[in-house]
Amino acid sequence: MSTNLAEAVPATARRRPAALWSGAAAVAAAAPAPAEAPERTHLEVVPSRSQRRARPRALYAGIAVGTLLAIVVAQLLLSIGISQGAYQLNTLEAKQTQLQRSYQAVSEDLGRVSSPQNLAANANALGMVSNSNPAYLRLSDGAVLGAPLPASGAAGTVTGGQGNLVPNALLAGVPLVGQPQAQQQAQQTGAAQTGNSASAGAANTPEKKPTVPLQGALPTPVTH
């Protein structure tokens, strides 16, 4: 039939409407039944090339909506991330506070045990004495300067045999080296003498394990 018309339809548009149209025309031409006549009037204006080009395509809409969605999702995720960060920050700050507290606690401990009073008392407790007769060896000629004498055990104690006379309120309750054992023994003998429920309390106190394990004679850290 009208090959002119068919030719006017572009290849893409030809599939359905042209086929339908040509099919319908073919049917109409082949069997012109009067009953089917009113249904035949489905006509459509075939858009011109420029009209078709101006029409928005679904792809563009998809891209626009997709981008919008992506932005919303990204915004949401960022927001969640930041909030999550805030909570993490909060937890870490709490942890930092905790660590600062333990730092303070141990540095206070260190401060008081390294005070001269404590060191001298511990030196005394270990039986150390100081030598009040300094002598020097001059390296250039090997000369001995001063009068070397052995330290005297009785008069040479660091605190002069009188104990510590320089007060330090922070040292109350800080045990001397070797004293924990003595205290334990005292507690045990005390418990044996009294033999009442108080001794059970003393015996139940958990033994403090040294944090640095003893290996041989000297405390050695585990790390190498």
Partner 1 sequence: MVGKKMLRRRTAVTVLAVAATVGILGAKLVDIQVVQADKLQKESVTAKEVSTKLLGNRGDIVDADGTVLATTVYTYTAQASPKDAIAGGREKMVEAAAKIGAITGQGGDAVVALFDAALKENPKSQYVLIKSGMDVGTFNKLDALPYPWLTFKKFQSRSYPNGAVAGNLLGFLSQGGDSGLEKSENGCLAGENGEETYQRGADGVAIPGSTVVQKPAKDGGTLKLTIDSDLQWFAEQTLAQQVGATGSKFGFVTVAEAKTGKVKAIAQWPSLDPNNIDATDPSYWRLQSLTDPREPGSTFKALTAAMLIDQGKASPTTPVLAPYSWKSGNGADLHDSGYHAPLRLTLTGVLMMSSNTGMSQLGRALTDQTRYDYLKKFGIGDPTGLPYPNESAGELHPVKDWDDQTKYATMFGQGVSATQLQMVGAYQALANGGTRIPLSLVEGCQHPDGSVTDVPSAKQTPVVSAQAASTTLGMMESVVTSGELKKQLQIPGYRVAAKTGTAQQPDGKGGYLPSYYVSVMGVAPVDDPQYVVSVNLGFPTTITSSAAAAPLFHTIMSQVLKTYRVKPSTSSPADYPPYY
Residues that bind partner 1 (CB under 8 A): 82-83, 85-87, 89-90, 101-102, 104-105, 108, 111-112, 114-117, 120, 132-134, 136, 145-147, 159-160, 162, 164-171
φ/ψ of 145, rounded to 5, equals -100, 135
- Min CB(161)–partner 1 separation in Å: 9
DSSP 27-62: HHHH---GGGGGGGG---PPPPHHHHHHSPPHHHHH
| Closer residue to partner 1, CB minimum distance, 50 or 162 | 162
| Closer residue to partner 1, CB minimum distance, 47 or 85 | 85
CA distance 79 to 73: 10
Helices (H), the chain: 3-8, 11-13, 19-30, 49-54, 58-113, 116-125, 179-194, 197-204
- Min CB(157)–partner 1 separation in Å: 11
- Min CB(168)–partner 1 separation in Å: 2
| Closer residue to partner 1, CB minimum distance, 22 or 168 | 168
Look at the alpha carbons of 127, 189, 165, 104 in this order and tell me if their dihedral is positive or negative: positive
| Closer residue to partner 1, CB minimum distance, 60 or 87 | 87
Q: Which two tokens stand for residue 51?
A: 């009209």
- Min CB(219)–partner 1 separation in Å: 23
